[in-house]
Amino acid sequence: CTPGGPKVREENILVTVRMRPLSSKELASYDLVAWDIADGNTVVSKNLYHERHAGSYTFDKVFDTTCSTSRVYEEGARDVALSALSGINATIFAYGQTSSGKTFTMRGVAEHAVKDIFKHMNFTPEREFLLKFSALEIYNETVVDLLNRESGCLRLLDDPERGTIVDKLIEEVVKDDQHLRHLISICEAQRQVGETALNDKSSRSHQIIRLTIESSLREDSGCVKSFIASLNLVDLAGSERATQTNTDGTRLKEGSHINRSLLTLTTVIRKLSGGKRSGHIPYRDSKLTRILQTSLGGNARTAIICTMSPALSHVEQSRNTLLFATSAK
């Protein structure tokens, strides 16, 4: 007797790549497109000037510049998002360099996921659902509540039953989809408040929107299944903060721009993928991975949408993104 939810694919980590169109700035500076997409699942280097970037990279799916966010959601996130309705913890990330389209993509994914979750709850009258919303930002390894910035820097606590919890983080009970959209818009406004105070903050901070779904059968049919699961929607810091190299490939003199949470996340994902599940997984090395621990690996489902610019001027960072995506498969 399983809790009734939509079918979820077997793979634990779904890795897709989305290429945005050239920006107006890139067009104005006569930037070139450095990549082709073949067969809907492979990114191929056009090898314009950089012999050393030659190569092709294949994934579950590659979305070209014309793909709508609704298709990205359907094929790159939906199964993972809906698994939370069957009691399976889920995380959806956007990974990519600053200005590659992470926020653009995650906003759309959140919107579609919200619609889908309410649709499913409405079509499952035999179950009772309780939906809770919370949202936080991690900046410089400090955790801030996006529903209540005034509460300052929040502590992480270890709960014997629930794992790592964020102390004093507000959890709002969601009334309906309109209420949920309202909560998301509050968080977006809150994120922008910090943004003006500190210029390149969005490239350094991570945002997590967490929907916690509690569900139980309305009538005791002898196979009562209650569960609690969370769906985490994560807009990561720019991936340039996970690498030690400069845009021209040279090593940086100092690692001060390195983002501990992002670097640890990439290590955790690498260790979880490709059958390397055994061995120590360093969840506890950063705030981000501690918070997401129960929603990464184990039975949890993960979708990683890697975003990239097609521009030649960003070819080195795009290649780093493709290498990360390859290691996550």
Residues lying near Mg ion in the complex (CB under 5 A) are found at 102-103, 202
Chain positions 11 to 30 lying near ligand ADP, rule: CB under 6 A, are 20-21, 23
SS3 content of the chain, % helix, strand, coil (to 5): 35, 25, 35
Task: Tell me the sheet residues that pair with 33.
Answer: 311
Q: What does the CA dihedral 177, 85, 19, 250 come to, rounded to 10 degrees?
A: 110
Residue with tokens 């050393």: 52
Token pair, residue 318, equals 């795009």
In whole angstroms, how far apart are CA 169 and each of 90, 119, 172, 273?
Answer: 20, 27, 10, 31
Min. distance of Cβ 241 from ligand ADP in angstroms? 12
Is 5 or 101 the residue whose CB approaches ligand ADP more closely?
Answer: 101
Sheet with 35-38, strands from edge to edge, namely: 35-38, 42-45, 56-58
96 binds, among Mg ion, ligand ADP, none (CB under 5 to 8 A by kind): ligand ADP
Establish if 103 lies at the interface with ligand ADP (CB under 6 A).
Answer: yes
CB neighbours of 295 closer than 8 A, spacing ≥ 6? Answer: 89, 90, 91, 230, 232, 302
Residue nearest to Mg ion (CB): 103
- Binding map of ligand ADP across residues 297-316, x = CB under 6 A, - = no contact: ----------x---------
264 binds, among ligand ADP, Mg ion, none (CB under 5 to 8 A by kind): none
The Cα 101–Cα 22 span in angstroms is 11
The answer to whether the Cα torsion of 287, 148, 83, 67 is positive or negative is negative
Is 27 or 173 the residue whose CB approaches ligand ADP more closely?
Answer: 27
Is 89 or 320 the residue whose CB approaches ligand ADP more closely?
Answer: 320
Q: What does the CA dihedral 313, 105, 187, 205 come to, rounded to 10 degrees?
A: -40
Chain-centroid distance, C-alpha 282:
19
Min. distance of Cβ 25 from ligand ADP in angstroms? 9
Is 87 or 310 the residue whose CB approaches Mg ion more closely?
Answer: 310
Is 120 or 241 the residue whose CB approaches ligand ADP more closely?
Answer: 241
The Cα 171–Cα 147 span in angstroms is 9
86 binds, among Mg ion, ligand ADP, none (CB under 5 to 8 A by kind): none
> What is the 3 state secondary structure string of 93-132?
EEECCCCCCHHHHHHHHHHHHHHHHHHHHHCCCCEEEEEE
Return the amino acid letter for 275. G
Is 63 or 133 the residue whose CB approaches ligand ADP more closely?
Answer: 63
Establish if 124 lies at the interface with ligand ADP (CB under 6 A).
Answer: no
Residue nearest to ligand ADP (CB): 101
Min. distance of Cβ 206 from ligand ADP in angstroms? 11
Is 98 or 267 the residue whose CB approaches ligand ADP more closely?
Answer: 98
Establish if 104 lies at the interface with ligand ADP (CB under 6 A).
Answer: yes
Establish if 101 lies at the interface with ligand ADP (CB under 6 A).
Answer: yes
CB neighbours of 25 closer than 8 A, spacing ≥ 6? Answer: none
Which residue in 16, 89, 100, 205 binds ligand ADP (CB under 6 A)?
Answer: 100
Min. distance of Cβ 260 from Mg ion in angstroms? 19
Is 101 or 297 the residue whose CB approaches ligand ADP more closely?
Answer: 101
Min. distance of Cβ 105 from ligand ADP in angstroms? 6
Which residue in 89, 98, 264, 293 binds ligand ADP (CB under 6 A)?
Answer: 98
- In the complex, the residues that contact ligand ADP under the rule CB under 6 A are 20-21, 23, 96, 98-104, 307
